[in-house]
A and B are shown apart, each in its own frame.
Chain A
């Protein structure tokens, strides 16, 4: 699971009102090399919940120099875009789980794919 995906996910357990963001508990994290596409990163940034991204990167110990807030004029800042690219797409949780912040329910991540299926009583 990449942090770009994590940024979009929310807990949908019945009754939960604040299921976002999910806490990451990783047991295996990998950093892969992914081709850098500055245009793509640029376009995705405005769609992200920036604080969630920073928090998640922190939880994984991969925050490095990612700023707590978006820098102005980031479109032209190649350095910054590279940092974002790394955190969004290169850091990957292979094994672990995602935890609902409200209910505590844990959703496992296996082989890089989070399993967010609910049981009958949770739906």
Chain B
């Protein structure tokens, strides 16, 4: 598909074409979100990305919850065809002709980018001046989230340094501590990656350090005019960030492409390459199916929320789970293993007339959740409770939705295997739900197998759909020594009086959590 549309004027509106990267499994959520929130047109999916046009304000676009990063589209085209036999000179020539295009295109794109940056900056300063709350806590920075001030995302995004990426299996415990990497290092990453996984993890100490360096950085940024839109389209400093995948990467490495493009752009527009602190960053994605060029619109991914201090589950996934629960005004929503409260916060920000209760057994987690809730200014609607998910102090049929990310790690706080506890945890979730209520859970592929076995085993009604699901579930299972354990548990649990008979399966989705995958399952409670 050949589409060079950067800006289109339709009457009063100005349509801008964007693309967002999305984690595996998140694309359909993103597609739905852009259509619903931004009245997006010409929505097009390619692996790991969603392209769309919208005339919504840039603030609204930056408010997308299912996206990783946001780019202004420069060019989208059919793949750059090359073979390994092509000489370097010929390769360079092909790249130049396919990727550079004409001068006007570039200038026009940069003008649009500049305008969008101006709009973002304007909304940011509007928040600063109208903000009467001041700085509540050390380390929170000057931007606070208020109902009308959602536009303040950009400020904290631009300021923060710390980044985390990639959860490995061992690290995925209840605490979900994450590895931190420097933001700029990630930008220079040339590895083949279709989806990007980044989360922010702030400890109180980090936040304090951040503020100090932030205020310094803020000054620098203003001096360098990084926040400021481009004065002119001459003398722009830029950097190419290239990612190549598929057979193409064997013909031309990312570095080579960057060099060719860099030299070509300099020649075409008189711009200067600056690897350290460019005004403009050009992203180039080359794969076997397409070539895509764009300019990132924010320094940090949209997935880094300005309103969450310490994340557990990735915000995009948390938001997606909440959206699956179809929360209505007046709903009471419970997360029986809330950890630091990521799901609750994402859900509460999206659904403003519902209330949320987070339950956890661990003081440390509850403390962080408390801080997160205060930071996001959601104390009115999000509350906490210390209790066990195996014994919820809630009356039966009193909750409209249960949304939960079950810890995957082998260790559970009572030092018992999660698989052993799953039947009872599920039973409690089912008990507290009203008829018609939704259950949305995130599990590892292994636990998902167990879940399906548990529910298909106890369900006495017509199997039909369910049977297919459990079969696919079993196919998806990782074959490991723990399977033996699972079948052992199953035989023992069949002797228990399991009351999980009224949950009807709706859907199962596979999502990427970084190094591992998770499965989101949705159930609805039916009358017995």
* Contact, CB under 8 Å: A47 / B384: no
**Cα of A47 to Cα of B401 in the assembled complex, Å:** 14
* Contact, CB under 8 Å: A12 / B393: yes
**Per-position binary interface string of chain B over residues 328-351, scored 1 when its CB falls under 8 Å from any chain A CB and 0 otherwise:** 011010000000000000000000
A26 at the interface (CB under 8 A from B): no
B179 at the interface (CB under 8 A from A): no
**Per-position binary interface string of chain A over residues 29-70, scored 1 when its CB falls under 8 Å from any chain B CB and 0 otherwise:** 000101101011001101100000000000000000000000
Chain B nearest Cβ from A53, distance in angstroms? 14
Task: Tell me whether chain A's interface is mostly helix, strand or loop, or mixed.
Answer: loop
Of residues B353, B354, B357, B377, which shows the largest number of chain A Cβ atoms within 10 Å of its Cβ? B353
B386 at the interface (CB under 8 A from A): yes
**CB neighbours of B329 from chain A (8 A):** 39-40, 43
B247 at the interface (CB under 8 A from A): no
Question: From A2, which residue of chain B is reached at the shortest CB distance?
Answer: B383
* Contact, CB under 8 Å: A34 / B391: no
**Cα of A1 to Cα of B384 in the assembled complex, Å:** 8
* Contact, CB under 8 Å: A40 / B388: no
Chain B nearest Cβ from A36, distance in angstroms? 9
* Contact, CB under 8 Å: B357 / A46: no
Known contacts A35-B380, A114-B386, A8 near B391 by CB under 8 Å = no
* Contact, CB under 8 Å: A8 / B386: no
B379 at the interface (CB under 8 A from A): yes
* Contact, CB under 8 Å: B366 / A113: yes
Chain B nearest Cβ from A114, distance in angstroms? 6
Known contacts A4-B355, A117-B361, A44 near B385 by CB under 8 Å = no
**CB neighbours of B387 from chain A (8 A):** 115-117
B385's partner among A12, A32, A34, A113 (CB-CB below 8 A) is: A113
B393's partner among A11, A34, A37 (CB-CB below 8 A) is: A11
* Contact, CB under 8 Å: A89 / B380: yes
B352's partner among A8, A40, A113, A116 (CB-CB below 8 A) is: A40
**Per-position binary interface string of chain A over residues 88-123, scored 1 when its CB falls under 8 Å from any chain B CB and 0 otherwise:** 010000000000000000010001111111100001
Chain A nearest Cβ from B169, distance in angstroms? 29
**CB neighbours of B464 from chain A (8 A):** none
Known contacts A4-B383, A5-B383, A37-B353, A117 near B330 by CB under 8 Å = no
**Cα of A40 to Cα of B354 in the assembled complex, Å:** 7
* Contact, CB under 8 Å: B391 / A44: no
Task: Tell me whether chain B's interface is mostly helix, strand or loop, or mixed.
Answer: loop
Known contacts A5-B385, A8-B398, A116-B393, A44 near B380 by CB under 8 Å = no
**Contact-residue size bin, chain A (C-beta under 8 Å from the other chain):** 20 to 34
* Contact, CB under 8 Å: B392 / A114: no
**CB neighbours of B167 from chain A (8 A):** none
Chain A nearest Cβ from B171, distance in angstroms? 27
Known contacts A9-B393, A113-B386, A116-B386, A46 near B361 by CB under 8 Å = no
**Cα of A20 to Cα of B357 in the assembled complex, Å:** 18
B196 at the interface (CB under 8 A from A): no
**Cα of A114 to Cα of B395 in the assembled complex, Å:** 16
Question: From A115, which residue of chain B is reached at the shortest CB distance?
Answer: B386
B184 at the interface (CB under 8 A from A): no
Question: From B147, which residue of chain A is reached at the shortest CB distance?
Answer: A35
**CB neighbours of A1 from chain B (8 A):** 383
B381 at the interface (CB under 8 A from A): yes
**CB neighbours of B390 from chain A (8 A):** 123
B386's partner among A2, A10, A40, A117 (CB-CB below 8 A) is: A117
Known contacts A5-B357, A32-B379, A114 near B385 by CB under 8 Å = yes
**Cα of A81 to Cα of B260 in the assembled complex, Å:** 65
**CB neighbours of B370 from chain A (8 A):** 111-113
Question: Which residues 91-144 of B have a CB within 8 angstroms of A?
Answer: none
* Contact, CB under 8 Å: A8 / B394: yes
Known contacts A113-B370, A118-B391, A34 near B380 by CB under 8 Å = yes
**CB neighbours of A115 from chain B (8 A):** 386-387
**Per-position binary interface string of chain B over residues 54-97, scored 1 when its CB falls under 8 Å from any chain A CB and 0 otherwise:** 00000000000000000000000000000000000000000000
**Cα of A70 to Cα of B147 in the assembled complex, Å:** 29
A8's partner among B357, B366, B377, B381 (CB-CB below 8 A) is: B357
Closest 8 CB pairs of A and B: A43-B330, A116-B393, A116-B387, A115-B386, A34-B380, A5-B383, A43-B329, A40-B353
Residues in B lying within 8 Å of A, measured CB to CB: 147, 329-330, 332, 352-355, 357, 361, 366, 370, 377, 379-381, 383-388, 390-395, 398
Residues in A lying within 8 Å of B, measured CB to CB: 1-2, 4-5, 8-12, 20, 32, 34-35, 37, 39-40, 43-44, 46-47, 89, 107, 111-118, 123
